[in-house]
Structure 1
Amino acid sequence: MPSKRYRQSPSRPTRRPIPPIEVAIGDRFPLTIKKLGINGQGIGYFKHKVCFVPQTIPGEIIVAEVTAVHEKYLEAKIHRLKKASPDRVSPKDDYAGLAGGFELEHLAYQRQLAFKRQVVLDSLAKFKPFGYQHYQVRPTIAAPHPYGYRNKAQFQIRRIDGKIVAGLYRANSHEVIDMVTCAVQMPATMLVMRQLVQWIQELQIPVYDEESNSGIIKTIAIRESRSTGEIQVTFITNSRKLPHKRLLLDKIQTELPAVRSVIQNFNPGDTP
């Protein structure tokens, strides 16, 4: 029998591993935002590496400035906005992009609703619950009034440079940002909050200090009834003792007649 002839296939060239990208904090580069992440931050790609940039919108072109370098991804901020999206709007709050909870205020409201629906669709596609292909995910229902609707405000109380402030934490930190106004809150909740802060300052009631776990007032929560306008105030404290309690209550009763109940919630330690 004639011997079989075997053809040797040509050897494929060996792929060289892609060298790691050398990126440092402060580096800048052009970046096109492709989509939004689940937390509302824009996502672009630099040298095949994911880059998260808050306060950006898909389709925008920016000059990004690196703020953190991780093994698999980068974090950055906008150094310069080269091409803005038509869906970009001016936030009503000065601290949008600083305090947590304002991640999408730069995005037109209808686009916010579409984004929230897309998060649900993406989650279904990722986790694949039984029969998810047949789910009907309807458009997100819009709030009748996207501003001035929140009837609960819960702000941290701290002393900054000798001044008592009430506000929310800076994103990914425990630094409190003083919030004099807040566009999404019902106006009365903010008025009561500012008045209470003023009295705490005047009466020199100690406020909480996280580093030393000392001080007394940690948080103030205010709830307003949408139907009656009645308000409930809760002081969350690090101690059962609340100096000048009687005087504070007298001021509330006399000058804030809408406040119908006051609660002290004793919650010691480094919890909110």
Structure 2
Amino acid sequence: MNLNAIRAIYLFEMNRFRRTIMQSVAAPVLSTSLYFIVFGSAIGSRIDTVEGIAYGAFIVPGLIMLTVITESLTNASFGIYLPKFQGTIYELLSAPVSAVETVIGYVGAAATKSFLIGCLILATARIFVDYTILHPLFTAAFLILTCTAFSLFGFIIGIWADSFQRLQLIPLMVVTPLAFLGGTFYSITMLPEPWDTVALFNPVLYLVSGFRWSFYGVADVAPLISLAMTGVFMLICLGVVAWIFRTGWRLKS
């Protein structure tokens, strides 16, 4: 394992994160704060509780998941797309750096950024609402797993994209709508038939549900199922990444 190569890629990506600190940190914190003001205060004043939890506190895990998913996809996809756009990807492919080392460097940096932003959103939420975390170890583990899984997915998007417009296509047109429909602002028990059953086919629901369980001990689906679904998604992404490096798809053309 070439640790120097991993370290070089990782530090390069983290330095890019520090150079764009306003865009990378301030923007998601401000956006999430607006969600707390609009949904937590304005709408929350009209909704007493959801499953025995104050509405403002109920949406905290969902908002963190929404931000983490978005940031993981954006950071990882842009991180690998930029070398493709600039043509420096060929220097990376010809260097004595394996596919595993490349993925660890890029995905590790993207996951780190997303995890830090998730923690910052968690701290910001305390300004607006009071919340509890019943299972902090599960919270940390689930957050790390989600950051890693969606950073891998973002890495795939960055390789697939051939323009800046397509780079944003899946996050904006697919992932964000699924996140809003995945129980971020409500419990699926509030949905009438058959929409509560249809919601179970939304993969983001399992992320939000599992993460919310780590806070309050309530979930729309069993937490172990949520954890397993996230793990399966990450394994699928790993398989796709392995296939990409084995075939050179979108990397050498």
TM-score (norm 1): 0.27
- Higher-RCO chain (CA-CA 8 Å, sequence separation at least 6): 2
Choose 1 or 2 for highest CA Rg: 1
Q: Which structure shows the higher helix fraction?
A: 2
